[in-house]
Amino acid sequence: MPRSRPAAGGGRWIPLDPGRLGRWLDGFGERHGTPLTWSDIADGAVVSAPDGARAECHLPFGWPGEPGADRAALLAAAGAARRVGLLLVRRGAHAVGVADGDRLVSSKVDTRYVQGRTAAGGWSQQRFARRRDKQTRESTGAAADHAARLLPAAALSGLVLGGDRALLAAVLDDPRLRHLAALPRVELPELPEPRRATLLDAARRYREVRIRLTEPTG
């Protein structure tokens, strides 16, 4: 069963692999009745059932074409393969890669030593903070080096980001990465420490359709 969590304002969020979306829609109709009605939203489609149940289907990179959502169009859009860049950054570690669909085709993972926090005060603490800041800059600089080499904008249709937002911003601020600014983005901030396994997980998870399911009570 897909993991789910409560949605603010009611209902629950269900992240769903695009390969399972067709079966899920069939089950939605079986549980709540037919005919189903379809309507467009900016980044996907809404499916409504006769009993009042409603499923907002949000695509990771938005609706790709002309309005006119229906089952076939939603399945085609959700299953479309994209070539995307992956950039995961946390303090002292980063992972960069390219995914074609859910397949990781290139990657680089690196770790750099960055000192932890200290409870010391005075001059020692200031010296420690300067050294820690220098190590952090070196770490984000290395991440920018690898991103500049592995993420050519001309070959990508999107960018997937994960980890610490402040450090990601520092990496993307590198002039060599300005070509990535115009790419549509998906954020996966809850990913664990950047590792190759984390990149593989990100290559799968960025494609998930986020469904906000609202069902009648009683």
Q: Above 90 in pLDDT, residue 62? A: no
Share of the chain above pLDDT 90, in %: 72
Q: Convert the pLDDT of each residue in 152-191 to its tens digit.
A: 877 899 999 999 999 999 999 999 999 999 999 999 988 8
42, 102 Cβ separation under 8 angstroms: no
Q: Collapse the DSSP code of 172 into the 3-class scheme (helix H, G, I; strand E, B; otherwise coil) and give the result.
A: helix
Whether residues 195 and 95 fall in one domain? yes
Q: Are residues 66 and 100 in the same domain?
A: no
Residue 35 pLDDT > 70, yes or no? yes
Q: Which domain holds residue 31?
A: 5-81+207-214
The predicted-structure confidence for 100-159, as pLDDT tens digits, reads as follows 999 999 999 998 655 555 555 554 666 656 665 666 677 888 999 999 999 987 789 999
Residues 100 and 199 both lie in one domain: yes
User: Do 191 and 104 fall into the same domain?
Assistant: yes
* pLDDT tier at 1, thresholds 50, 70, 90: very low
Q: Give the residue-averaged pLDDT of 12-23.
A: 96
| Residue 140 sits in the same domain as residue 198 | yes
Tokens standing for residue 203:
């290559």
The pTM score is: 0.86
Same domain, 99 and 173: yes
Number of domains within the chain: 2
Please report the pLDDT score of residue 92 as a whole number: 84
Closest by alpha carbon to 89, among 108, 76, 102?
Answer: 108
Q: Residue 118: what pLDDT?
A: 53
- Rounded Cα gap, residues 11 and 5, in angstroms: 9
Q: What is the CATH number of the domain that holds 125?
A: 3.30.420.60
